[in-house]
Structure 1
Amino acid sequence: MNASSVVEGFTISGDKSGYVYSHFEASPQTREMLERREAGDFLIEMPIKYTTDGARKFTLIGTEESLLELTELFEIGDTNIELVSMGPYSPESRGVFSDLTDRQREILETALQMGYYENPAKRLSKRLHRN
């Protein structure tokens, strides 16, 4: 990402997770997708994955009608877009937290409920450990 001319900054999440939070200069297609997403036509499932050849692969969630309207994006800019597949969506088997064990998910939910990520403090960490 350091070598990319469009990436303005990024943060790697942990050592081995493979997730990166980035700030980048959006292409015309990306800008249009984000504007439409904010209008509520569809959702972009995170994370967006980068392939070894530099392409981006991601899942869009929406009605067939709203997704078919996105074909207009194929004409914007110079980036190629390829529809790989369409089908029913099953949210329970996907997502950033899908690989967590039940215990890890329980600890994360407890930490969120107790406000750990809003104000991480040693005393809160000790209380969390007791739970």
Structure 2
Amino acid sequence: MRYVRIRLDQPAWMRHPMQEFLATSEAMQREEMLAWNLSRDDVQFLLFYVEGDVDAYRERVAEVEQVRWCELSVVDEASFYAYACEEYTESQTAFFEPFAELRLVVVPPVVFDGNGDLLMTVVGRPTGLTTLVEDLRAVADVGVEVRRVGSYDRRHQRALGAVTDRQREALATATELGYYGSPREASLADVAAALGVAAGTASELLREAEANVMARLVGDDDGA
């Protein structure tokens, strides 16, 4: 069983209205689709974690025709959860059909960054993953970047549970840039720039995340 981690730069016509809002609004920073359930009534139920202005999000989502309802739960002044019910669209159906046909599984979370780009991890057979990437690259105006490919193994997910979403983002960004490479391919300043924060903030995020992960790996915590 293999996996591929990909980033998709989709044209505006292919994006969900809230994905486009994320890309164009200065009030929004990031969104993660944490879970989704399908129903028999041509609607889907979704749970998102969002970083940004909750009032701006509430105002915009109320205007999206396909969203039947959306409940927001504030975490703090900069983040909240969105629990939504929305109707399927033709573009969504067309996008996800190949995943079913190729017997592939999308592993949450599906991340939408501040540019509106979509990052996802897909698990399945090697031939199916290769075909998916080829098919996506064949679609006009879709940019496809393969971030990682390998054997799927989530045994260390327990360690990742020791960090916050923001710390996990810092670790992922640092890893992707080569900050933890040998030799090191990126500086702390590079990581800070990619995260859009000061170098001191990036350093604090990484230090706290590293401490939490190491404590969980060696069993020096209660696992809660």
Q: Which residue of 2 aligns with 1:92?
A: 155
Post-superposition Cα deviations, 1:44-70, rounded to whole Å, max 9, x if no partner, equal 111111122221111111121110011
> What is the match of residue 49 of structure 1?
111
Q: Percentage identity across aligned positions?
A: 18
Q: Which moved more, 1:7-16 or 1:55-64?
A: 7-16
Match of 1:74, as an amino acid? R
Q: AA paired with 1:93?
A: H
Partner Cα separation in structure 2 for residue 24 and residue 43 of structure 1? 21
1:65 and 2:127 aligned: yes
CA distance in structure 2 between the aligned counterparts of 1:26 and 1:94, rounded to whole angstroms: 33
For 2:122 and 2:19, the matched residues in 1 are separated by 27
AA of the residue aligned to 1:53 = N
Distance across 2 between alignment mates of 1:84 and 1:57: 9
The alpha-carbon deviation at position 78 of structure 1 amounts to: 2.6
Task: Return the structure number with greater strand share.
Answer: 2
Change (3 A) 1:12 1:66: farther
TM-score, normalised to structure 1's length?
Answer: 0.53
Change (3 A) 1:24 1:4: farther
Query: 1:15 is matched with which residue?
Result: 75
> Structure 2 CA distance, aligned partners of 1:59 and 1:44?
6
What SS does the corresponding residue of 2:111 show, helix, strand or coil? Answer: strand
TM-score in terms of structure 2 length: 0.34
The verdict on how the C-alpha distance between 1:80 and 1:11 changes in structure 2, with shifts beyond 3 A counting, is: farther
Tell which has more relative contact order, 1 or 2 (C-alpha 8 A, sep 6+): 2
Structure 2: give runs of 5+ residues left out of the alignment.
1-17, 23-60, 163-221
